[in-house]
Amino acid sequence: MTERADQTAVGHHHDDLDTTGLAYSGRAPSHAEMAGRARRFGAWYYAETTLRGMRAYLVPNAITAIGQPLLYIIAMGLGLGALVGSGVGTVDGVDYLTFVAPALLVSTVVMSVTGEMTYPVMAGFKWMRTYYGPGATALRPDQIALGHLLAVVIRFVVQSAIFWVIAVAFGATTLGWSVLMVPIGVLAAVAFGAPLQAYAASLEGEGFQFSFVQRFIVMPMFLFSGTFFPLSVMPVYLQWIGWLSPVWHGTQLARVASYGAEVPGWLIAVHVVVLAAAGLAGVLWARRVYARRLIS
Amino acid sequence: MSVLDRTGGPAGAASLAEPGARSSVRSVLERGFTVIRNQNWIILVSGFFEPVFYLLAMGIGMGTLVGAVEGPGGREITYAAFIAPALLATSAMNGAFYDSTWNVFFKLRFAKLYEAMLQTSLSPWNVALGEILMALFRGLLYAVGFLGVLAIMGLVTSWWALAMVPVAVLIAFGFAALGMGVTSYMTRFQQMDLLNFVMLPMFLFSATLYPITVYPEAVQWVVMALPLWHAVELMRQLSVGHLTWITAVHVGYFVGMVGAGLWLTTTRLRALFLR
């Protein structure tokens, strides 16, 4: 016992120890020490695991992260923009490319989060059971849920940043405050992704649910959230889709950051509160569902 | 042998006992419809809503920003009327293509369904044609539904629009035949993602949401090589009843695509399983 206590003491002095190397050398920190670290930093540990897993899809993910902004900015911003230019001319006081670029950033990130928070969550519980191994360690279920979300957030920080750089390169926005589009895009992604994660975790088996989410929530959200045109041009009976949609709230914020769209201060506050509340509610819900399924 | 027959299914057990009794493309279709009836009809039906959502959002919303657009023959048409035929062509493509790629990939690599089918007296030709006909059925369903929506929205102005239904099936045939052949080369899930990298740009750049004339001429030639562009143009011409000799070129493109796709798929199935 005393020997082990000594090792624990040593471990405290070197918090950045290479624990894997130590384990091979037989001088790993004690189990209690390792468990203590897992309890403190478990979410980060799980996020690291998930990110390492994502490396298998690095090439397709990178192509998506670079290809999507290029495709959408060229097709929608320039192609469709040419039509709008010969139609009404400017939208919201700016040319169409400037108007649509922040919306494209937000909606592509939110659409990508759907992929990360449906099938991989189902795989974690059912197909590959990747949650159960970590679940059997000192990690708590809520850390696993949060860790998965953190990894996804890190991925989307990178993806949004790439989009922003490409938007700047195309002259769709200018350097400066527009960089706030990156955290705004990630916030919108969490506002949709966290509740979706909880919902996916609550499903026992895969059926038509994910296809339904894709067809009846994600697709309408993309199309009816004032992405391609101001929400106000839609008839009122379709505008509510935008009001409920994280894409619209995120898009409006991103427009303010990108070209200073005229949004009153109270409405900016509403957008931020709605997104933060949805994300928080999702995280809390996910904690409960993960705890129920991993502790039995 | 009789034991196997009994486990194979109670319904046609007796007739299946005779070797080759119904081993034709019909058996493949029968299986396809059974699966739809038992499992995925709800997914199938939900696919109909995608082009409708697009039409509502872009037609109504973008329409207010864009105004009138030059349609086939130089006539001014509303933006909704401009994109509606393109969305029908895209939906025919998507329905058939996903049916014949992801669906087929799963059956080929995971469920090993074709391996099992070819152990019977079914030929590669039977299997390929059966699967492609299933994809066509889906295309037909969506085309009829979408044409109904167009009629309700007042976007149908010519009797030629009725021809959009068989033409949607032809478009679906082209994509399904080629899609299944291409899928036979895929061995891993990640490779399937490549299909998305082809499909999304094709949808965005095939003059679906704006006229091809916004591109520089060199880009126009590239777009004109894409199958979806021919599908979109064909549908657009039919929607207003403006037919020219180019209509025949578009139809010819798809007839050729069907032939090439069928040949590729059958050859590949033979190479994969009947060595």
* B121-145 confidence digits (pLDDT tens): 788 888 888 888 888 888 888 889 9
User: Does B198 contact A at CB distance below 8 Å?
Assistant: no
Write down the pLDDT at residue B32. Answer: 83
Average pLDDT over residues B189-207: 83
Q: Give the one of B46, B61, B200 whose C-beta lies nearest to A215's C-beta.
A: B46
The tokens 């299944």 sit on which residue?
Answer: B180
Q: Is residue A99 less than 8 Å (CB to CB) from chain B? A: no
Residues 6+ apart with CB under 8 A from A167: A69, A73, A101, A102, A105, A173, A178, A181, A258
- Chain B partners within 8 Å of A88 (Cβ): 64-67
| Per-residue confidence (pLDDT) for residue A16, from 0 to 100 | 61
**Mean of the per-residue pLDDT values of chain B:** 83
The answer to whether B177 and B132 are in contact (CB under 8 A) is: yes
Q: B9 versus B45: which is more confidently predicted?
A: B45
A266 burial type by CB count under 10 A (0-12 exposed, 13-18 middle, 19+ buried) = exposed
Q: How many CB atoms within 10 Å of residue A77?
A: 24
Tell me the mean pLDDT in the region B202-210: 91
- Contact by Cβ (8 Å): A268, A253: yes
Q: What is the pLDDT of residues B24-35, one digit of tens each?
A: 888 888 888 888
Is the distance from CB of A241 to CB of A220 less than 8 angstroms?
yes
**Contact criterion met (CB < 8 Å) for A220 and B42:** no
**Which has more pLDDT, B6 or A50?**
A50
Q: Examine the pLDDT at B11 and tell me if it is beyond 60.
A: no
Q: In angstroms, rounded to a whole number, what is the distance separating the alpha carbons of residues A272 and A261?
A: 16
Report whether pLDDT(B12) > 50.
Answer: no
Share of chain B above pLDDT 90, in %: 31
* Count of C-beta atoms within a 10 Å radius of residue A15: 7
B14 has a pLDDT exceeding 80: no
Token pair of A18 as six digits? 């290479």
The β-bridge relationship of strands B76-78 and B68-70 is antiparallel
B76 forms bridges with which residues in the sheet? Answer: B70
Residues of A in contact with B188 (CB under 8 A): none
Residue of A nearest to B53 (CA): A220
* CA-wise closest residue to B207 among A261, A82, A40, A103: A82
DSSP 8-state code for residue B77: E
Q: Per the structure block, which two tokens stand in for B69?
A: 């657009």
DSSP H or E segment with residue B70: strand B68-70
**Is B67 close to A87, i.e. CB distance below 8 A?**
yes
ipTM: 0.81
| A235–B61 CB contact, under 8 Å | no
The pLDDT tens digits of the residues spanning B147-171 come to 999 999 888 888 888 999 999 999 9
Question: What integer best gives the mean pLDDT of chain A?
Answer: 88
Residue B30 to residue B184: CA distance in whole angstroms? 23
Element (H or E) spanning B78, and its range?
A: strand B76-78
Closest Cα in chain B, distance from residue A294 (Å)? 28
- Cα A102 to Cα A227: distance, rounded to the nearest angstrom: 9
Alpha-carbon distance of A230 to A225, in angstroms, equals: 8
Q: Are A75 and A97 in contact (CB under 8 A)?
A: no
Query: Helices (DSSP H) in B101-206: which residue ranges?
Result: 102-105, 113-119, 124-152, 164-183, 189-205
Q: What is the largest CA-CA distance in chain A?
A: 82
CA distance B211 to chain A (A): 9
CB pairs under 8 A between A and B: 90
Indicate which of A99, A119, A223, A239 best probes the interface with B, i.e. most B CBs within 10 Å of its own CB.
A223
| Set of chain B residues whose Cβ sits within 8 Å of the Cβ of A68 | 200
Select the residue from A73, A96, A97, A208 to test the B interface by mutation, using most B Cβ atoms within 10 A.
Answer: A208
Q: CB of A247 within 8 Å of any CB in chain B?
A: no
Which pLDDT does position B263 carry in this prediction? Answer: 92
Cβ separation of A79 and B210 shorter than 8 Å? yes
pLDDT surpassing 70 at residue B114: yes
Q: How far is A60 from chain B (nearest CA, A)?
A: 7
Give the span between the Cα atoms of A183 and A160, in whole angstroms: 8
Return d(Cα B173, Cα B176) in angstroms, integer.
5
pLDDT tens column, B54-107: 999 988 888 888 888 888 888 889 999 999 999 999 998 988 888 888 888 888
Whether the CA torsion A81, A85, A91, A97 is positive or negative: it is positive
pLDDT tens, N- to C-terminus, chain A (296 residues): 334 444 444 444 445 667 677 777 777 778 888 888 878 888 898 999 889 888 888 888 888 889 989 999 999 888 899 989 888 888 888 999 999 999 999 999 999 999 899 888 888 888 888 888 888 887 889 999 999 999 999 999 999 999 999 999 999 999 999 999 999 999 999 999 999 999 999 998 776 788 888 889 999 999 999 999 999 988 888 899 999 999 999 999 999 999 999 999 999 999 999 999 999 999 999 999 999 988 86
Taking an 8 Å cut-off on Cβ atoms, the answer to whether B40 and A87 are in contact is no
A235 touches chain B (CB under 8 A): yes
Reduced to 3 states (helix: H, G, I; strand: E, B; else coil), residue B187 is: coil
pLDDT at B164: 92
| Candidate from A78, A91, A228 with C-beta closest to B58 | A228
pLDDT at residue B6 above 70? no
CA distance B207 to B218: 15
Contact B20, B121 (CB under 8 A): yes
What is the percent of chain B with per-residue pLDDT over 70, rounded to a whole number? 90
How many CB atoms are located within 10 Å of the residue A163 CB? Answer: 29
DSSP lists the bridge partners of residue B77 as B69
Any A CB within 8 A of B56 CB: yes
